[in-house]
Amino acid sequence: MGTHTVYSAETARPRTRIWRILGAIVAGLMVLVIVGIGWFLSIARSALPELDGPLPVAGVSAPVSVTRDAHGVPTIESATLDDLFFAQGYVTAQDRLFQMDLMRRAATGELAEIVGDVALEHDR
């Protein structure tokens, strides 16, 4: 004859309790992951330049208009050449600041500060 194991409600409670705890932990981890992704996306978007809307900037004598086509190519309209050149520098910095900084560091021998030891030979 075989043996029969009888499970009572008291022996089943620890198992359901463990599953509830594991479910709460998984739910908490999912919330943390979702919050982390949202935080990362907000930080990533804040690093991008503001391309639409008015931007008050000291240094221009008259309003300057910068429009971009579907490919992101800027067209600058201004009343004076000084304002045009200022806006062109501003737009270039919006689009290429990281590249400009890397080129400046490469020219001054400071590239290893960002890239690491792999650029030490280049910096000498």
Residue 29, pLDDT score: 95
Q: CB within 8 A of 57, min separation 6: which ones?
A: 86, 90
Residue 31, pLDDT score: 96
Residues of the chain with pLDDT under 50: none
Question: How far is it, in rounded angstroms, from Cα 4 to Cα 19?
Answer: 25
Question: Do 27 and 84 reside in the same domain of the chain?
Answer: no
- In total, how many domains does the chain have? 2
Residue 30, pLDDT score: 96
Residue 17, pLDDT score: 85
Which residue among 10, 29, 48 closes a domain? Answer: 48
Residue 35, pLDDT score: 95
Question: Do 29 and 76 reside in the same domain of the chain?
Answer: no
Share of the chain above pLDDT 70, in %: 90
Which structural domain range is residue 23 located in?
A: 1-48
Question: How far is it, in rounded angstroms, from Cα 117 to Cα 93?
Answer: 27
